[in-house]
Structure formats: C-alpha cells, structure tokens
Chain A
Amino acid sequence: MLKTFTLGGVHPEENKFSSHKKIEVLPVPPVVTIPLSQHIGAPAKVLVNKGDRVKIGQVIAESGGFVSANIHSSVSGTVLKVEAFPDSTGYRRMSVQIQSEGDEWVDGVDLSTDLKKDFDFSSEEIIQKIIASGLVGLGGATFPSHVKLSIPQGKKAEYLIVNAVECEPYLTADHSLMLEKGEEIMVGTRIMMKALKVEKAIFGIENNKPDAIELMSRLAEREKGITVVALKVKYPQGGEKQLVQALINREVPSGALPIDVGVVAFNVGSIYAAYQAVQKNKPLIERVVTVTGKSVKNPSNFLTRIGTPVQALIDAVGGLPEDTGKVVNGGPMMGKAISSLDVPVVKGSSGILVIPDTEANRHETENCIRCSKCVSACPMGLEPYLLMSLAEREYFGRMETEKVMDCMECGSCSYTCPSSRPLLDYIRLGKGNVTQIIRARKN
C-alpha cells in the first residue's frame, strides 16, 4: 500500500501532457518586468533608478525585513521604468522594468554546467548564501527560504522533507527538473540538510512519476540519510501538512508550522535553486515553467527568466489556441487566472495553463443538497458547506470557531460540489474578515 494522507482529498484528471518533454531554455525576452513583491512578507526595497545600467544577477531590490527576499535583475541592460505594473494577482505592484542588452553577469557567478558535488560551508554560511540569492519557496507559496532555515530557539529540526509531489494537475516543472538535474538536486539536499543540521531527508514523489522515483531512489542510495518515498496520487498531497503526515505520520497542529513537529519542507525546485545559490553563487533569476493546456499545440517545460511576459511563453508553444477561454498562472486547482498576457513570470510561477472556453466558465450554482461531498473532500477536516452559509450570513466569529483559518484554499470543496457552489469563494471572504477580527483583538 502506497502512503498518503488520511483526511479528504480528491483526484482530478492528471493531464500531465508535458511530463516527458525536455526543459527548453526560453530565449531572453527584450524587456522584463520584475515585481518587487514576489514572496510572502514585506516587499523588497528598490535600489535602482530609471536609466541605470544593471547586470544579470545584480540586486535591484533588497530584502525589506526578516520575512522578505532580495530581488535580482534577470537580464543585463537599462532600467526603463520603476513603477506599478499589474501582476498575476491583477493588482498593480511596484516593479522594475528592464530592457535587455547583451549578456553581462555580475562577478563571482559560476556559469559552467559542471556538477559541483563537494562543499565545505557551515550552516550559517549556507543560510547567508541563500539570503543573498533571494530564494523563496518555488512550489507556489513563495515563503522566503532563509526564514524556514532559521530554526527558532527551543525547536529542533529532525527531518528535511523534499516536496516533489507536484499534485497539481497539468504541471510537470518539478518532474522534468528531477529527470534532468537529479545529481544537482541530491547535492542541494545535502546542502539543506547541513544548513538545518539534520541527518534525515525524505523525498515525497507521487506514483504518477515512476521514472523520477526510480532515478531519485537510485541517486539516493549513494547518499547517507536520504530516502525516496512513492506516494499514492491524491490532491492536495503537496500541501505541507498533508505531505508531512503522509511521509512520517506526524500531524502539524492547527495554527502551527511543520517545525513544531521537527520538520522543514522544501519544494524540489527550491532545493535545486539552493544548489545554484551555494555551489555556483547564482541568484534566483530563472525557474522552470510548464506551459500547457488541452488545446496547446506543443505543451512543454521552459527555463524562463523571472520577469518574462507570459506572452513569450505562449509564443514558444505555438501561440494562443483559438479556443482559449482562460489563462492561469499556476495549476488548475490553486493557480490565478490572469487578465492579460503582459503579466510577468515570477518566482512562484510553476506553470501557465491555457483553458479552452468550453471549460473556462463555472456551471450554474444550485441549491446545496447536503450530500456532504465537500466535508469528505476537505483535507483539513472542515465543513465547507457550513462555512459558506456562515459567510453568507456574515457570522464571521462563528467561522473562526469552525476553524476557517485552517483552510489552505486547495479548492477540493468547490471542485467536488455537484451543485457547483462557490464554496471556496465564500470561505476566502470569511478568512479575510476573520483575519481582521484576529488582528483587531491583538491590538
């Protein structure tokens, strides 16, 4: 029996069209737009002005606090504008727009593709290098990585968990990265183990990626303390709490973090980026992005510079299909629909999904028939139908006692509802209001 998490979960069509495509390097676009807020936490503080010359890997905005991250230029060229541009959330966010000219890197970056296995850095040195590289969680949550590496007083990490689940349908960025950069990922894992001072690391990979499981298991045999575990395919297994439970059967308490049960988890893409940061001094200026969809001519995975407009990726797969109804930054379950192809790729963009117009619109909402499918689908053990009706009546205090803040917005409830009720929309509304109530109570 394959391991998996115990509560809830759904199994959407996988549609991993691009799982056997090589990672292609997307040509550097003529202009990039790099938002200053690509992570959870304080936006970075801009260091450049209009007209400045910048190199690839140069810090253009520095971390705006402990929970924040540096932002680097992904091209060499001239700063065109420092102003607000719409990003994938639809909001206008302060960004730096740079015109690409030439290919000039900052000093000290090792641009060779040779595998560099050995390192001799202390935990603190590794963390400093990671802070410098601007690394954030690349699975989509974009939490600054150094914060997770700085273990709070009185707590101890026992396990590093490498999240290679990629439970979102369609996406194959992590899968393709493992197939091509397996050796580097193993070195990155050892680096993160050193930084966390842990002896054990576990890879969690869903069973729909047998080639990656086979390869990573083979590579892990040579390493001390690294194991690879195949998991039953079930969404949202890539949720941190779900993955921790699936792998080591520990339940992260409500409101707590994995470190409270001795675990720190990183996305496999972040592990690869950590290898680049520590072994090659290469900051986070590019990432693998899956570009896919049912009508897309040639779904594939691209190594893409941060700030590249989505349009460039769409062009690379043969243009926007005629029947496009919706374009999503991320996967179909948690990604954000974008209104324009000018939106830039950011650190958290794991995929661009093109949805045909036949599937772009929601079905008509009907009465709740109390079938309880949302309750059995919820991986956090909540009652989405109840939360929705509480939100409709604006009973936000009651929503808090019904644990609405445990919701991670995985979308399993709305996905499964036979009456197509907008459960998650109302839960989000409730979460926003409950957050304000909690904040008001603290002050």
Chain B
Amino acid sequence: MSIFTVSPSPHVHSGQSVPRLMYGVVIALLPALAVSVFYFGIGMIIITAVSVISCVLFEFLFQKYLLKNPSTHLDGSAALTGLLLAFCLPANLPWWMVAIGALVSIGIAKMTFGGLGNNIFNPALVGRVFLFISFPAAMTSYPKPGQWWEYMDATTGATPLGIMSESLANNMPVSEIMAGMPSNLDLFLGKMLGSAGEVAAFALLLGLVYLLWKKIISWHIPVSILLTVIIFTGALSLGNPEKYPSPLFHLLTGGLLLGAIFMATDYVTSPMTVKGMIIYGIGIGVITILIRTFGAYPEGVQFAILLMNGFTPLINKYVKPKRFGEVKHG
C-alpha cells in the first residue's frame, strides 16, 4: 500500500521565499551600487564589503553563540542590511567604524528583538544613527566624487543639502545658492557629494521599477512619501521661492530616494495595510521636510523613517484593511 502525505489545504505554494525576496532587493540595489563604485571607487568597495561581511558574520555569531537559534545568516536579510548600511555611510568612513555600525545594526537593532521579523526599527538606519552620534565628524565629511584610488584620505566637502542649510542660515537667497550647485542633470546622475549609495537618483529609480515589477514591494510607501515631499516643499517654495528650495532639489539630493524606495519599504518595520502604508508614507514625508527646513540637521530622512517605524505597531493596531462586506454604520 502506498503511503500518502496528508495535510490540510492549500496543497500548492507560490514558491516565494524569504531569500528570494531579500536577494530580489539586493538585485534592485545593484545599479545604484555600480554608479557609486563609479563615483567613489575603492572607498565604496571597501565599506560595502566590510559592511556586508560583518553583518552576515555578526548574524551568524549571534545566532550560534548567544541565541542558539537555527542559523539564518544566509537568508539574504543580513546581507541586505549590510548593503543598505554601507549605502548610507560616507565612502571614506574608516573600515572599523563600518564594522561597529554593522554590530549595532545586527546585534542591537535586530537580534535583541528576536531576529528577522521582530525588530521595531530599521537595523541599517539604527546602525547609521549610532555612528552619526558617536563619530559626528567622520559621518559628516563626504568625499568628492571621482577619486577612484583614494579611500580615507580623499578630499572631502559638504553635501548639497549641507550647503543649502548653511547658506540659508546665512540669509542667502535660494537662487544665489542654486547657482553654486551641481546641475539638475548631475544631481540626477549622482555626480555630487553624499552618502555612498544615495547619490544616483536614476539608478535608485531603476531599482524601484524592478521592485514593483517583481512585486517585491507595492507602490504605496514610496509614492506617498515622494508625493508628500513634492506637495509640502512645493507649497513652501511657491510661498517664498527665495527662502525654500524647489521640490526637485529636495527629491534629487540627500537620502530621500534611497530612504523612500529601500529603507521605508523594509517589510518588518512598515505597516501591513494599504491605508497604514499611506499614513506612514505621509508621516515620513512630512517629518523629513520639517527636519530639512526647520530642524538643526540638513538631512532628516533617517530620523523620519525611524520615528515612523516606532508608530508602525500603533498603525497596525488601529488601521484595518477594508473588509469585504463590511456593514456600513451611519
């Protein structure tokens, strides 16, 4: 007599898996990685390699020796965290600082909460913010693009957002500041100073197209963040174009695209329902611009995402999907 497997339905599966999703995001990041290597050369290669390898290594060590869980260090999530962490650091950051960032990302932001799926805050961003607070000087000196063979001793400068913030504080009008900025085409192609992986707008948008095409993410979070930023900065700029830069400048500079496409859409730390995703996206957009325009820091995407990460459990609790056949009250 044959022995059959007996289990409840469904008897087929989509074939989707955590590694496939995670490595899918990694593939979506490759165009941006290539562009960043083109601009920042050896520095980009070193920090990316150190970050990815340390994240995977720390994940393995924590699971094996501290949590004694089955090891999932190769499921792609640690590698993805490593890649994203490298993307939001300056390409000339000393390698040991990168390793400390990876330790905080994996050790504190991810593993203390119970590993993949249980963390409240985006691990890569927690790592970045830790480094930002611990090593403020190193974390705010960015290498100029085009120095292929220079790593830690590359010539540094200020980012467009930094220049904007500084000059506005000195009461310079926006039109005058913009005259000294790279052209919009250069901003779009990524030829500017900034965190290693955030500069190339077109490559990041290419990644977005890939993520949407492969249905790895839905459009709701990135689109609601970007639309909010456009509307908010558009209104400010219409009100006083000499005091507030245009939406296009905000879109193309800083970590907005990297954050909106790859950081805010992290499954674990973003809401579960469409309505929730839109609220979360609007929140990130508003907080980012509040910090950029009225705050002490030139850039606010990282804090905006982490703040909204903190709201995600609350959003999940109170924002429910549209139920089929819901009886309408009133």
Contact of A371 with B12 in the complex, beta carbons under 8 Å: no
A332 and B10 contact, Cβ closer than 8 Å, known pairs A253-B327, A337-B4, A372-B272: yes
Contact of B325 with A251 in the complex, beta carbons under 8 Å: yes
What residue of chain B has the Cβ atom nearest to residue A371's Cβ? B267
What's the least CB distance linking A299 to chain B, in Å? 16
User: Is A409 close to B, CB under 8 A?
Assistant: yes
* In the bound complex, CA of A252 to CA of B324 (Å): 8
Contact of B325 with A338 in the complex, beta carbons under 8 Å: no
What residue of chain A has the Cβ atom nearest to residue B323's Cβ? A381
The segment out of A91-99, A199-207, A360-368 that lies at the interface is: A360-368
Contact of B4 with A326 in the complex, beta carbons under 8 Å: yes
- Please, what's the 1-or-0 string for A375-415, where 1 marks a CB less than 8 Å from any CB in chain B? 11011111101100000000000000001001001011011
Q: Which residues 263-317 of B have a CB within 8 angstroms of A? A: 267-274, 316
Contact of A367 with B116 in the complex, beta carbons under 8 Å: yes
User: Is B134 close to A, CB under 8 A?
Assistant: no
Contact of A320 with B6 in the complex, beta carbons under 8 Å: no
The segment out of B16-24, B179-187, B238-246 that lies at the interface is: B16-24
Residues of A within 8 A of B18 (CB): 366, 369, 418-419
Residues of B within 8 A of A361 (CB): 5, 7
Contact of A418 with B20 in the complex, beta carbons under 8 Å: yes
Among A245, A339, A369, A381, which residue has its beta carbon within 8 angstroms of that of B116?
A369
User: Is A162 close to B, CB under 8 A?
Assistant: no
What's the least CB distance linking B220 to chain A, in Å? 10
- Please, what's the 1-or-0 string for A314-353, where 1 marks a CB less than 8 Å from any CB in chain B? 0000001000111110101111111111000000000001
* In the bound complex, CA of A17 to CA of B91 (Å): 55
User: Is B321 close to A, CB under 8 A?
Assistant: yes
Among B2, B4, B10, B324, which residue has its beta carbon within 8 angstroms of that of A411?
B10
Contact of A420 with B13 in the complex, beta carbons under 8 Å: yes
What residue of chain B has the Cβ atom nearest to residue A374's Cβ? B272
What residue of chain A has the Cβ atom nearest to residue B8's Cβ? A425
Among A338, A415, A416, which residue has its beta carbon within 8 angstroms of that of B4?
A338
Residues of A within 8 A of B324 (CB): 7, 241, 245, 251, 254, 379-381, 406
- Please, what's the 1-or-0 string for B7-39, where 1 marks a CB less than 8 Å from any CB in chain A? 111111110111011000000000000000000
Contact of A326 with B11 in the complex, beta carbons under 8 Å: yes
Contact of A370 with B12 in the complex, beta carbons under 8 Å: no
Among B1, B7, B218, B268, which residue has its beta carbon within 8 angstroms of that of A369?
B268
Interface range, B side: 35 or more
Residues of B within 8 A of A335 (CB): 9, 11
Interface range, A side: 35 or more
Contact of A370 with B11 in the complex, beta carbons under 8 Å: no
Contact of A381 with B322 in the complex, beta carbons under 8 Å: yes
Residues of B within 8 A of A248 (CB): none
- The main secondary structure of chain B at its interface with chain A is loop
What's the least CB distance linking B37 to chain A, in Å? 29
User: Is B72 close to A, CB under 8 A?
Assistant: yes
User: Is B176 close to A, CB under 8 A?
Assistant: no
What's the least CB distance linking B81 to chain A, in Å? 13
Residues of A within 8 A of B64 (CB): none
Among B4, B17, B327, which residue has its beta carbon within 8 angstroms of that of A325?
B4
Residues of B within 8 A of A380 (CB): 323-325
Contact of A327 with B272 in the complex, beta carbons under 8 Å: no
Residues of A within 8 A of B13 (CB): 362-363, 414-415, 420
Residues of B within 8 A of A12 (CB): 12, 14
Contact of A363 with B17 in the complex, beta carbons under 8 Å: yes
* In the bound complex, CA of A375 to CA of B5 (Å): 29
Among A245, A332, A357, A419, which residue has its beta carbon within 8 angstroms of that of B12?
A332
Contact of A337 with B325 in the complex, beta carbons under 8 Å: no
Residues of A within 8 A of B320 (CB): 383
- The main secondary structure of chain A at its interface with chain B is loop
Residues of A within 8 A of B11 (CB): 326, 328, 332-333, 335, 337, 353, 355, 359-360
- Please, what's the 1-or-0 string for B60-79, where 1 marks a CB less than 8 Å from any CB in chain A? 00000000000010010100
Residues of B within 8 A of A360 (CB): 4-5, 11
Contact of B273 with A326 in the complex, beta carbons under 8 Å: no
- Please, what's the 1-or-0 string for A240-268, where 1 marks a CB less than 8 Å from any CB in chain B? 01000100000111111000000000000
What residue of chain B has the Cβ atom nearest to residue A366's Cβ? B18
What residue of chain A has the Cβ atom nearest to residue B269's Cβ? A370
A424 and B9 contact, Cβ closer than 8 Å, known pairs A371-B21, A375-B272, A418-B16: yes
Contact of B9 with A10 in the complex, beta carbons under 8 Å: no
Residues of A within 8 A of B327 (CB): 253-254
Residues of B within 8 A of A375 (CB): 272-273, 321
Residues of A within 8 A of B270 (CB): 370
Contact of B6 with A326 in the complex, beta carbons under 8 Å: yes
A333 and B10 contact, Cβ closer than 8 Å, known pairs A367-B116, A383-B320: yes
What's the least CB distance linking B58 to chain A, in Å? 18
Residues of A within 8 A of B323 (CB): 254, 380-382, 403, 406
Residues of A within 8 A of B4 (CB): 324-327, 337-340, 360
Residues of B within 8 A of A371 (CB): 21, 267
User: Is B118 close to A, CB under 8 A?
Assistant: yes
User: Is A182 close to B, CB under 8 A?
Assistant: no
Among A256, A369, A378, which residue has its beta carbon within 8 angstroms of that of B325?
A256
What residue of chain B has the Cβ atom nearest to residue A372's Cβ? B272
Contact of B117 with A415 in the complex, beta carbons under 8 Å: no
Among A7, A255, A386, A414, which residue has its beta carbon within 8 angstroms of that of B10?
A414
What's the least CB distance linking A247 to chain B, in Å? 15
Contact of B17 with A334 in the complex, beta carbons under 8 Å: no
Residues of B within 8 A of A324 (CB): 2, 4
Contact of B8 with A416 in the complex, beta carbons under 8 Å: no
* In the bound complex, CA of A51 to CA of B16 (Å): 55
What's the least CB distance linking B258 to chain A, in Å? 20
Q: Which residues 171-223 of B have a CB within 8 angstroms of A? A: 218
Q: List 20 A-B contacts (CB under 8 A).
A: A7-B322, A12-B12, A251-B325, A320-B2, A326-B7, A332-B12, A337-B4, A337-B8, A338-B6, A360-B5, A368-B117, A370-B267, A372-B272, A376-B218, A379-B324, A386-B316, A417-B14, A420-B17, A424-B8, A424-B10
Q: What would 10 more interface pairs be, CB under 8 Å, given A253-B327, A382-B321?
A: A336-B9, A337-B8, A338-B6, A339-B4, A361-B5, A366-B18, A383-B272, A414-B10, A418-B18, A419-B17
5 smallest beta-carbon distances between A and B, as pairs: A411-B10, A367-B117, A381-B323, A371-B267, A418-B16
Question: Which residues of A does B touch, CB under 8 Å?
Answer: 7, 10, 12-13, 90, 169, 241, 245, 251-256, 320, 324-328, 330, 332-341, 353, 355, 357, 359-363, 366-373, 375-376, 378-383, 385-386, 403, 406, 409, 411-412, 414-420, 424-425, 428
